Amino acid sequence: MTRAQLTEKILDIKRAQGWTWKYICDEIGGISPVLVVGALLGQMKLVKPLAHKAARLFGLSELEERMLNEIPHRGMPMPPTDPLIYRFYELVMVNGPAWKALIEEEFGDGIMSAIDFDMEIERLPHEKGDRVKITMSGKFLPYKYYGSEQGLPAYGYKEA
């Protein structure tokens, strides 16, 4: 069985049982719903205790449980073709240069981690149609200026 086949099996069971992602995440617990759903869709891994809970919930074999605990090959071809995912791609293409400039001005020469990272998604009622609120928080990781001489900064933190 491939990881893609396991994802399809999980989606088939979800569909047949009439489960929501909220129900599944409440049953598995332990980490952010974004990570649980990401793991069940093949983009993240579940730590062993959570892989075991997921395997029990979905009636998976021991081999399939182990597969949920493996580090997956992440990502997708670019640009994405799904309209919702494409909007995120578009957000980055259009706003990315401004985000980069503002982050660098505030923090220095570095990146925002997508590994040491938190994300929350919530629904906000609005009279013109409900809104999606996504909050992202990633650790700032400065570039290391390796080989820097005495007295020069070793990392790309904002200089005073």
Query: What pLDDT is recorded for position 66?
Result: 98
pLDDT band at 33 (very low <50, low <70, confident <90, very high): very high
61 and 7 within one domain: yes
| Global confidence as pTM | 0.83
Cα of 52 vs its chain's centroid, Å? 21
pLDDT digits (tens, 9 = 90+) for 45-71: 999 999 999 999 999 999 999 999 999
Catalytic residue among 87, 131, 137, 148: 87
Among left, alpha and beta (phi > 0; psi -120 to 50; other), residue 58 is alpha
Are 56 and 28 a contacting pair, CB within 8 Å?
no
Query: What pLDDT is recorded for position 148?
Result: 84
Q: What percent of the chain is predicted at pLDDT more than 70?
A: 100
Whether 87 is catalytic is yes
Whether 90 is catalytic is yes
Domain enclosing residue 108, as ranges: 83-142
160 pLDDT exceeds 90? no
- Is 50 domain-assigned? yes
Whether 113 is catalytic is yes
- Is 147 domain-assigned? no
Catalytic residue among 90, 120, 131, 148: 90
Count of domains for the chain: 2
- Is 48 domain-assigned? yes
146 pLDDT exceeds 90? no
56 and 93 within one domain: no
pLDDT digits (tens, 9 = 90+) for 114-134: 999 999 999 999 999 999 999
Q: How many helices (H) and strands (E) does the chain have?
A: 6, 2
27 and 63 within one domain: yes
